Amino acid sequence: MAGLFYAALFYFATAFFVGGLAYKIYKYAKTPAPLKIPTTPAPTTQSGVVARMAREVVFFESLFKGNKWIWLFGWMFHVGLALVLLRHLRYFMDPIPGVIVFIQPFGMYAGFAMAIGLLGLWGRRFFVERIRYISNPSDHLMLALLVAIGGSGLMMKFGAHTDIVAVKNFVLGLMTFSLQPLPTDPLLLIHLALVAVLMIIFPISKLLHAPGVFFSPTRNQVDNPRERRHVAPWAAELDKS
């Protein structure tokens, strides 16, 4: 019963996540940036832009310039999240590739880094007046959701273990459209339900910052307006009148 419900939930969540994200990315890609607005000093070549973007995405360069505490907690959370996600690939693959096996132990510590980062970010929303002012209920809920996902995960790892072989069978079953039984430990059910919720709200929330950063004209444009005439299609129409 639980298996059936969760299978349906994950099919829906995945479809919504992929479809929603694809729609948003399509929209970002299709909307023109009619003017050259990189925040300067900006790279003057395309490869320079790739390097700038890589520094933003991997090191959060601008955030580092802006605020060391947010950077520290934010970066711990994201790196932790990335490692944890990679670690989870073992549930989706059989056999498990060497790299994924290799990062398993790091992924464990990453879970804690992620939790500490999240709690630090959350704390700022309560204790720093400026950030309290700009926080909406949804900003708190988002952190609560991630803390709950991370917390339930860590509790399964270090407390009430679940049958991960069965979980893997269930997941592989989902991928091959053959329903397998799902263990019914409450922690696991909570963990999985919350992950599905996260996937569903991803394309309709501020989590769009993840694809968004790549489309930000202040960061992804080459600084060459004098050398090349840059005209958006709707703007080119105005040349004709």
Residues that bind ligand HEM (CB under 6 A): 57, 60, 63, 70, 74, 77-78, 121, 139, 142-143, 146, 207, 209-210, 213
In angstroms, rounded to a whole number, what is the distance separating the alpha carbons of residues 205 and 211?
12
Residue 221 CB, nearest approach to ligand HEM (Å) = 18
Residue 23 CB, nearest approach to other proteins (Å) = 11
Residue 217 CB, nearest approach to other proteins (Å) = 5
Partner touching 77 among other proteins, ligand HEM, none, CB below 5 to 8 Å by kind? ligand HEM
Q: Retrieve residue 2's tokens.
A: 């639980």
| C-beta of 121 vs 156, nearer to ligand HEM | 121
Coil, strand or helix: which one is 225?
coil
DSSP type of residue 56? I
In angstroms, rounded to a whole number, what is the distance separating the alpha carbons of residues 108 and 117?
15
Position 127 contacts other proteins (CB under 8 A): no
φ, ψ of residue 97 in degrees (nearest 5): -60, 155
Coil, strand or helix: which one is 43?
coil
Position 67 contacts other proteins (CB under 8 A): yes
Side-chain-side CA neighbours of 23 within 13 Å: the count stands at 9
Rg (CA), the chain: 21
Helix 137-158 to helix 186-201 angle (10° resolution) is 140
Residue 119 CB, nearest approach to other proteins (Å) = 15
Residues that bind other proteins (CB under 8 A): 24, 27-28, 31-37, 39-44, 56, 60, 62-63, 65-67, 70, 74, 121, 124, 128-131, 133-139, 141, 201, 204-206, 208-209, 212-213, 215-219, 223, 225-232, 234-235, 238-240
